[in-house]
Amino acid sequence: MAALTDVEVREQWCATLRVVHVTSAVLEHALQAEHGLGLSEFQVLLVLGGDCPADGGKMRMKDLEAKMYLSQSALSRTVTRLHDAGLLTRAACDMDRRALFVELSDLGRRRYDDALPTYTRVLREQAVCERMAVSV
């Protein structure tokens, strides 16, 4: 297989960005219309719902931040919105008062479970997996 030219690499990168932009917009619209969630809010629920067990697992904010694409301040605002809506609980760590734990509430778990099929459906419709298989 021949190596890609610099132009081809840039073109593939631009194509990937277009797929991400379009898919993000479609996800945002579907999640908001069907579940009252923004994409960033759902992404937080997705990380917590996928990584934390249903029986009450917790995640440190620092670990959540490492898995997200948001800045620290944007993530903090998103977590606050989810907390205010009753979808998350927050608690300080007993061992390190600087650490903050977040976890899905029962309502948050239900909202995540309800929205996950919508998220997956949109990804399938947008064929993200196939379009993003760009070899650089």
What confidence score (pLDDT) does residue 2 get? 82
pLDDT digits (tens, 9 = 90+) for 89-105: 998 876 666 778 999 99
* Mean pLDDT calculated for residue range 77-86: 96
Could you give the percent of the chain with pLDDT greater than 90?
58
Under DSSP, the state recorded for 94 is S
Query: Is the pLDDT at 62 greater than 70, yes or no?
Result: yes
Cα 109 from Cα 79, distance rounded (Å): 15
Q: Distances in Å between the alpha carbon of 110 and those of 104, 115, 132?
A: 9, 9, 30
Query: Is the pLDDT at 77 greater than 80, yes or no?
Result: yes
Please report the domains of the chain, with CATH numbers, ordered by start residue: 6-129 (1.10.10.10)
Single pTM value for the model: 0.83
Angle between helices 72-84 and 39-51 (to 10 degrees): 80
Point out the least confidently predicted range of 21-30, 44-53, 55-64, 91-100. Answer: 91-100
What confidence score (pLDDT) does residue 56 get? 56
What confidence score (pLDDT) does residue 136 get? 42
Query: Is the pLDDT at 134 greater than 50, yes or no?
Result: no
